[in-house]
């Protein structure tokens, strides 16, 4: 149960994409936010469903929560967002870090996104580093934590002014994973291992008891259950990639070598071209069907593709 001045939090785990979405609300006002909602997507058939997002809204209705915000921690490459549908159902505003403009600049020519609105306009609000906003009476601070992508942010719900030494809750996106697992890749366009290390050290400079809420979990070796709640203290003591004593140079060398061996996420191509537009799919063509694009890159320059 949430204490006075503290957020109430419900987590929703999508095993198909290993993604955790959150319903977060202020018990004093019953105003809330949904963080990183998932659109159920079958990549083999191109079918989309709303079961995961509906479960979040059903929980909000059961709790009596009015959803004011849909918050994206970054432009996800491993699942499609259900933000537009939640906005349609609730009137909530969709927010993301202002670094999304850089991500859009990178991917606009890749996918030929001529209908993308300029300057992040597909989103309702672009958050600056250090910007504050409210969920009900809860004070939320935005932390820009690039490295995995240029647009990555964390949402830190601050303790109430009456309890300045209270525990804060931080929704970290892909900045860091569970303390027994490690960190996210940095090889996407605009990503950078050195930048991620510095973002993580900024995150881990918060008070030791700070609660950290993950966006993904893959079950570390030896752990049988999925998990998504950690603390700054646990990360500093146990995270194999960035625990205290791990230097920036060690992290960069490790992350660079590891990323070079990773394959692309299964939903990378559909996710990026949808999520970079706040979940908006391309307009339907003359036959009434919407299409996503698959860029073709021949491995041999003399390959006959005509």
Q: Break the chain into its structural domains and give their ranges.
A: 8-275
Closest C-alpha to 183, from 247, 129, 259: 259
Which residues, at least 6 apart from 275, have a Cβ–Cβ distance to it below 8 Å?
A: 72, 75, 76, 77, 80, 81
Residues in Cβ contact with 104 at an 8 Å cutoff, skipping those fewer than 6 apart:
113, 116, 120, 276
Distances in whole angstroms, Cα of residue 248 to Cα of each of 147, 222, 253: 13, 27, 9
Averaged over successive runs of 10 residues, the pLDDT of the chain (306 residues) comes to: 74 97 98 98 95 98 98 97 98 97 93 83 96 97 97 96 86 98 96 98 97 97 97 98 98 97 94 95 93 86 65
Res 4: pLDDT: 54
HSE of 3, CA atoms in CB hemisphere, 13 A: 8
Rounded to whole angstroms, the Cα distance separating 142 from 131 reads 5
Asked if 94 and 124 touch (Cβ cutoff 8 Å), the reply is yes
Per-residue pLDDT at 224: 96
Neighbours of 208 (CB within 10 A): 13
| pLDDT score of 1 | 40
127 vs 88: CA distance, rounded Å: 21
pLDDT of residue 117: 78
pLDDT given at position 304: 62
* Residue 243 to residue 216: CA distance in whole angstroms: 19
Could you tell me which of 105, 40, 22 has the C-alpha nearest to residue 79?
Answer: 40
Q: What is the model's pLDDT at position 305?
A: 63
Contacts of 291 (CB under 8 A, 6+ apart): 282, 285
Give the model's pLDDT for residue 121.
Answer: 86
Which structure tokens are listed for 69?
A: 């915000």
Element at 258 (helix H, strand E): helix 248-259
Question: What's the rounded Cα separation, in Å, for the pair 89 and 57?
Answer: 9
Instruction: Give the pLDDT confidence score for residue 3 in this predicted structure.
Output: 47
Please say whether the structural domain 8-275 has been given the CATH code 3.60.15.10: yes
Cα–Cα distance, 214 to 200 (Å, whole number): 13
Q: Do the Cβ atoms of 294 and 269 come closer than 8 Å?
A: yes
End-to-end Cα separation, the chain, in angstroms? 62
């Amino acid at each position: 149960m949430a204490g006075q001045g503290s957020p109430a939090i419900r987590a929703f785990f999508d095993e198909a994409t290993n993604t955790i979405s959150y319903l977060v609300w202020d018990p004093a006002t019953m105003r809330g936010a949904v963080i990183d909602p998932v659109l159920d997507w079958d990549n083999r058939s191109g079918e989309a469903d709303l079961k995961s997002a509906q479960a979040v809204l059903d929980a909000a209705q059961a709790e009596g929560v009015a959803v004011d915000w849909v918050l994206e921690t970054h432009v996800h490459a491993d699942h499609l967002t259900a933000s537009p549908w939640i906005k349609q159902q609730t009137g909530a505003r969709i927010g993301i870090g202002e670094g999304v403009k850089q991500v859009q600049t990178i991917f606009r020519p890749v996918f030929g996104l001529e209908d993308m609105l300029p300057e992040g306009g597909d989103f309702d609000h672009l958050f600056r580093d250090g910007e504050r906003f409210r969920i009900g009476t809860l004070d939320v601070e935005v932390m820009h934590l690039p490295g995995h992508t240029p647009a990555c942010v964390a949402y830190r719900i601050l303790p109430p002014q009456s309890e300045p030494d209270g525990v804060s809750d931080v929704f970290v996106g892909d900045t860091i994973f569970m303390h027994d697992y490690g960190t996210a890749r940095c090889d996407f366009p605009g990503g950078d291992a050195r930048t991620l290390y510095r973002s993580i050290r900024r995150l881990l400079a918060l008070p030791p008891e700070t609660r950290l809420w993950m966006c993904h979990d893959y079950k570390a070796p030896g752990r049988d259950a999925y998990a998504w709640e950690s603390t700054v203290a646990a990360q500093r003591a146990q995270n194999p990639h960035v625990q205290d004593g791990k230097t920036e140079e060690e992290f960069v060398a490790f992350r660079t070598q590891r990323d070079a061996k990773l394959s692309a996420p299964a939903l990378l191509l559909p996710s990026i071209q949808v999520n970079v537009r706040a979940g908006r799919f391309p307009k339907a063509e003359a036959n009434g069907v919407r299409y996503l694009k698959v860029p073709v890159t021949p491995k041999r320059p003399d390959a006959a593709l005509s």
